[in-house]
């Protein structure tokens, strides 16, 4: 149990927003802590929407959830490693780091369990992490082993000097061969878990190039100028081309079923950055995991059969 005075910078904020920032958790996770009574205000009753006032004391009485050891992802591949950084090919279903309510494996926990040294810099439970991937997104993720790397890579990510290339398959046939989507993204009012294009959101810029067309779907290469939560999923949904396998943002569930997909077709495929110590440009890439490869093979086979049928007409 601990008591913390309300930080000046958070006065006037909703309680769930303030707790999220104070504890380094999501807003929905903060709301769960408030509703379960693990987080409260010392001198007054307050629900998650109450405003934090000057003089408030935040009472933290978190239940011990460490009795069950965190599962380890043994099959997570290390693509690159030296004394400063380690880059993994994160499987779907693995979180970047531990968080309230998450009981599955994490990148950080799995690396530490293997004996990989990670810098102590960063928030507790998130040390060494300068950029994350969603649980449902696979691909390359960089973690810092040295203090020098943490400081420099955090700067590079913050100043958008790192080029992160994703491959995605979207529904429908994109009209252009390349384009940019520039639209602000914020939380959707209908859910704490969904995001949407909204004038009240934060600026977000997504560049894409077509790699392959299948008629009713398109494989694209995507580069982000900004790193908003669910940015690729939200932006393509906003132009009427949601990622296949992503019903949360409008994908056709029947199409997903035909392709054997249980998550969005999205993979962090390439990373280009300056090495934090040598400042020499590094290029790292990875292939697609089996579920995404299978869906892509089905699309290619179906598309080729359709073209052959059209030519015979």
82 as an active site residue: the answer is no
Structure tokens at 229: 């939560």
Structure tokens at 174: 């994109």
Describe the crossing of helices 27-35 and 15-23 by its angle, rounded to 10 degrees: 110
Among 178, 197, 181, residue whose Cα is nearest residue 189: 197
Which residues have C-beta within 8 Å of that of residue 301, sequence separation ≥ 6?
none
Give the CA distances from residue 76 to residues 36, 70, 138, in Å, rounded to whole numbers and listed in that order.
Answer: 34, 15, 10
> Which is the catalytic residue, given 134, 192, 216, 291?
134
Q: Which residues pair with residue 101 across a beta bridge?
A: none
Answer yes or no: are the C-beta atoms of 153 and 199 closer than 8 Å: no
Which residues have C-beta within 8 Å of that of residue 238, sequence separation ≥ 6?
181, 183, 196, 197
Give the CA distances from residue 310 to residues 213, 242, 302, in Å, rounded to whole numbers and listed in that order.
Answer: 16, 27, 12
- Cα–Cα distance between 177 and 216 in angstroms, integer? 15
Which residues have C-beta within 8 Å of that of residue 283, sequence separation ≥ 6?
270, 271, 272
- Cα–Cα distance between 70 and 88 in angstroms, integer? 18
Annotate 172-183 with b (16+ C-beta within 10 A) or e (fewer).
eebeeeeeebeb
Which of the residues are catalytic? 134
């Amino acid at each position: 149990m601990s008591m913390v005075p309300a930080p000046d910078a958070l006065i006037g904020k909703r309680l769930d927003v303030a707790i999220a920032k104070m504890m380094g958790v999501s807003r929905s996770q903060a709301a769960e802590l408030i509703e379960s009574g693990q987080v409260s205000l010392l001198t007054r009753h307050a629900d998650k929407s109450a405003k934090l006032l000057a003089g408030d004391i935040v009472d933290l009485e978190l239940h011990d959830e460490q009795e069950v050891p965190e599962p380890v992802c043994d099959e997570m591949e290390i693509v690159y490693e030296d004394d400063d950084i380690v880059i993994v090919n994160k499987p779907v279903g693995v979180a970047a780091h531990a968080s309230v309510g998450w009981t599955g494996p994490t990148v950080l926990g799995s690396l530490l369990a293997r004996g990989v040294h990670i810098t102590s810099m960063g928030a507790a439970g998130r040390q060494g992490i300068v950029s994350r991937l969603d649980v449902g997104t696979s691909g390359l993720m960089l973690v810092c082993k040295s203090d020098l790397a943490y400081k420099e890579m955090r700067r590079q990510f913050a100043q958008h000097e790192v080029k992160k290339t994703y491959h995605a398959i979207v529904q429908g046939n994109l009209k252009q061969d390349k384009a940019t989507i520039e639209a602000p993204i914020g939380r959707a009012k209908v859910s704490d878990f969904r995001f949407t294009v909204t004038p009240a959101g934060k600026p977000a810029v997504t560049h894409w190039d077509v790699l392959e067309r299948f008629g009713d779907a398109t494989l694209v290469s995507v580069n982000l100028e900004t790193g908003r939560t669910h940015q690729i999923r939200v932006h393509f949904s906003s132009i009427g081309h949601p990622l296949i396998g992503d019903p949360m943002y409008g994908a056709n569930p029947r199409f997903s079923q035909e392709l054997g997909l249980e998550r969005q077709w999205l993979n962090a495929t390439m990373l280009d950055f300056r090495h934090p110590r040598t400042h020499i440009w590094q290029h790292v890439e990875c292939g697609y995991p089996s579920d995404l490869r299978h869906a892509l093979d089905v699309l290619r086979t179906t598309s080729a059969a359709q073209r052959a049928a059209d030519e015979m007409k």
